[in-house]
């Protein structure tokens, strides 16, 4: 029985590791994640298992849905990130938002149980806390002198990350790499805030327009 139980534990962990790995690989192109997706997925799952095995292995409750296990591992990992690691915090928040939505829309499909509800409540509190903190920090950062961007490369790197995040939020194709960069270079020279511009750019740009202008 013990051997079978351990096999089942490893089986469940490996499935959740693959779920997280797929999610992380999907957002790699956004330029938000700075970790190796597979290694990070393994670490997140093992860390949560080490802290909360009784919630996950069925010894007290039924095992949680795998998507809920994934959410719990992500939120637990979010708390472990450095406070100034805004880039990876954004990556985790993007995925958590999408996974929360998936659970909400397809709740019956996942057979949500009491243990799932408990884990989701914990994860939700962490998500809200970090979302609010990040919003506050970004509001403060917008007041920083824009001359802190010493080069075009620094300015554009910030613009890329912010634009990717907003494209993802809007569910739009990120067409930044296909566009003429000269308008952005002029914005840099005019000391325009790259974060504010990235939001407007994502909201008002689509692939069809960029493609036509590039032909």
What integer pLDDT is reported at residue 15 of this predicted model? 97
Q: What is the pLDDT of residue 210?
A: 42
Q: What is the pTM of this model?
A: 0.64
> Is pLDDT of 32 > 80?
no
For 71-131, the DSSP string reads HHHHHHHHHHS-TT-HHHHHHHHHHHHHHHHHHHHTHHHHT--HHHHHHHHHHHHHHHHHH
Of the candidate ranges 7-16, 73-82, 92-101, 191-200, the one whose mean pLDDT is the lowest: 191-200
Decide: 37 and 21 in contact? Cβ < 8 Å: yes
Is the pLDDT at 60 greater than 60? The verdict is yes
* pLDDT tens figures, 146-187: 446 678 887 887 888 777 777 676 665 555 666 677 778 877
Label residue 4 by pLDDT band (50, 70, 90). low
Distance between CA atoms of residues 29 and 24, nearest Å: 10
Q: Could you tell me the pLDDT band of residue 71, with boundaries at 50, 70 and 90?
A: very high
């Amino acid at each position: 029985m013990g051997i079978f139980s351990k096999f089942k534990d490893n089986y469940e962990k490996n499935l959740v590791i693959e779920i997280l790995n797929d999610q992380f690989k999907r957002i790699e192109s956004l330029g938000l994640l700075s970790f190796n997706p597979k290694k990070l997925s393994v670490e997140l799952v093992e860390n949560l298992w080490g802290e909360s095995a009784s919630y996950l292995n069925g010894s007290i409750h039924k095992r949680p849905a795998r998507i809920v296990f994934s959410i719990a591992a992500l939120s637990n990992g979010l708390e472990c990130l450095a406070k100034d690691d805004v880039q990876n915090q954004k990556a985790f928040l993007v995925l958590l938002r999408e996974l929360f939505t998936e659970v909400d829309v397809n709740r019956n499909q996942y057979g949500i149980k009491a243990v799932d509800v408990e884990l989701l409540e914990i994860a939700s509190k962490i998500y809200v806390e970090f979302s609010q903190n990040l919003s506050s920090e970004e509001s403060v950062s917008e007041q920083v002198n824009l001359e802190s961007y010493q080069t075009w490369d620094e300015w554009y790197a910030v613009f890329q990350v912010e634009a990717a995040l907003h494209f993802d939020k809007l569910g739009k194709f990120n067409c930044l790499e296909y566009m003429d960069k000269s308008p952005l270079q002029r914005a840099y020279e005019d000391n325009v805030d790259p974060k504010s511009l990235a939001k407007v750019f994502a909201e008002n740009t689509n692939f069809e327009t960029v493609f036509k202008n590039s032909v």
